[in-house]
Structure 1
Amino acid sequence: MIDFENKGFFKLKQNMEYADRVAELLMEGEQVIDSYKSMRDGVVFTNKRIIAVNVKGLTGSKRDFTSLPYKDIVAYSIETSGTFDIDSELQIYFSSLGKVQFEFTGRTAIVEISKHISRHAL
């Protein structure tokens, strides 16, 4: 499992590459909502969970996939982008895991992500 306390996700940018990488992990009826990529790592939001992908090793052939179900979310916080600071942030608190934080760069639909989390976590 990814050590979220010591793992610093680089700024994530919308990119569907990681949607393809997690395709074999999806359950029947599970659909990708959005996908984001940093330099090596990625995050995929589905209609059932968040899948964090940590690429390991020099060649990047080893990957760690962490499944974060919406049903385990107890609270979350978003920081939207501003006029000059176009980065946004998502902090999610899971019942047994604690805080998980993702930082996004560019024009990310953080409000839409927030609504999606609310629909499944509330």
Structure 2
Amino acid sequence: MGLLDGLLGNASETDAQEVQLELQQVLAPGETVRGAYAVFRDLLVFTTKRLILVDKQGVTGKKREYLSLPYRSIERFSMETTGHFDLESELKIWVRGLAEPISKTFRNNSSIHEVARVLAEYAL
């Protein structure tokens, strides 16, 4: 999967070492990036300690919001796959302390299945 997949909303796996360098100022000492997925311009980053959601904002994407979710605070998550007429799949993550789930939209089933599998590996 490449740049076009990311622009279309397909989660594309991103080089973990590249993301490690990009997030160097955000990561705790000894924390390493285990996997990263780009959805549009945003990132879902799985580290040894937490899930980091990077929301790139503005025209250039230079402004960013980092949402840090320790794995222990993830209470549950759900995955809704595509159908005949609904071409978008959705991942929802419920976090302790938040009333509404965090939601990410994908354009195909294969990408959401991969992200949900990795989320299950780290959060369960």
**Same-fold call, TM cutoff 0.5:** yes
1:72 paired residue number: 73
Q: Any residues of structure 2 matched to 1:76-115 within 5 Å, and which?
A: 76-79=77-80, 89-97=90-98, 98-104=100-106, 105=108, 107-108=110-111, 109=114, 110-115=116-121
TM-score by length of 1: 0.68
1:41-68 per-residue CA deviation (whole Å, 9 max, x = no partner) reads 1110112111111112222221111111
For 1:67, give the aligned amino acid.
Answer: S
Q: Which segment is superposed worse, 19-28 or 104-113?
A: 104-113
Structure 1 residue ranges without an equivalent (≥5): 1-9, 82-86
Q: Which residue of 1 aligns with 2:47?
A: 46
Mark the runs of 5 or more structure 2 residues left unpaired by the alignment.
1-8, 83-87
Deviation by residue 1:5-29 (Cα, 9 ceiling, x = unmatched)? xxxxx44221125443223211122
Share of identical aligned residues, percent?
33
Alpha-carbon RMSD across the aligned residues, in angstroms, is 2.9
Aligned residues: 107
Q: What residue identity is the alignment partner of 2:60? A: T
Determine which structure has the larger helix proportion and give its number.
2
- Structure having greater relative contact order (Cα 8 Å, sep ≥ 6): 1
Give the stretch that moved more between structures: 67-76 or 96-105.
96-105
SS of corresponding position for 1:115: helix
User: Is the 2:45–2:51 Cα contact (8 Å) retained in structure 1?
Assistant: yes
CA contact (8 A) 1:42 1:53 kept: yes
TM-score, normalised via structure 2 length: 0.67
Q: Structure 1 residue 117 and structure 2 residue 123: aligned?
A: yes
